[in-house]
Amino acid sequence: MQRLVAELAGTFILVFSVIGTAAFASQNTNWVGVALAAGIAVLASAYAVGHISGGHFNPAVTLGAAAAGRFAWSDVLPYIGAQIVGGALATTVLLGIGAGALGGDVFQLFTATSNGYGEHSPLQFALPSVLLAEVVATAVFLYIILGVTDRRAPSGFAPLAIGLALAALHLVTIPVSNASLNPARSIATAIYGGPGALEQLWAFIVAPIVGALIAGFTYGFLFDRKRPTAV
Q: Is 107 exposed, middle or buried (0-12, 13-18, 19+ CB in 10 A)?
A: middle
Q: pLDDT tens digits for 68-102?
A: 999 999 999 999 999 999 999 999 999 999 888 77
Cα distances from 225 to residues 39, 145, 212, 220, in angstroms, run 30, 17, 20, 6
> Quick one: pLDDT at residue 18?
95
> Quick one: pLDDT at residue 28?
63
Tell me the pLDDT band of 231, cut-offs 50, 70 and 90.
very low
Q: Which domains does the chain have, with CATH numbers?
A: 2-221 (1.20.1080.10)
Q: pLDDT tens digits for 167-216?
A: 999 999 999 999 999 999 999 999 999 999 999 999 999 999 999 999 99
Give the ranges where the chain is alpha helix by DSSP (H). 2-24, 31-53, 59-67, 76-102, 107-113, 127-148, 158-177, 183-193, 195-223
> Quick one: pLDDT at residue 225?
66
pTM for this prediction: 0.92
> Quick one: pLDDT at residue 161?
95
Return the percentage of the chain with pLDDT > 70, whole number: 95
Q: Is 126 exposed, middle or buried (0-12, 13-18, 19+ CB in 10 A)?
A: exposed
Q: pLDDT tens digits for 108-137?
A: 889 999 999 999 999 999 999 999 999 999
> Quick one: pLDDT at residue 26?
62
Tell me the pLDDT band of 142, cut-offs 50, 70 and 90.
very high
Q: Is the pLDDT of residue 148 over 80?
A: yes
Q: Is the pLDDT of residue 230 over 90?
A: no
> Quick one: pLDDT at residue 224?
78
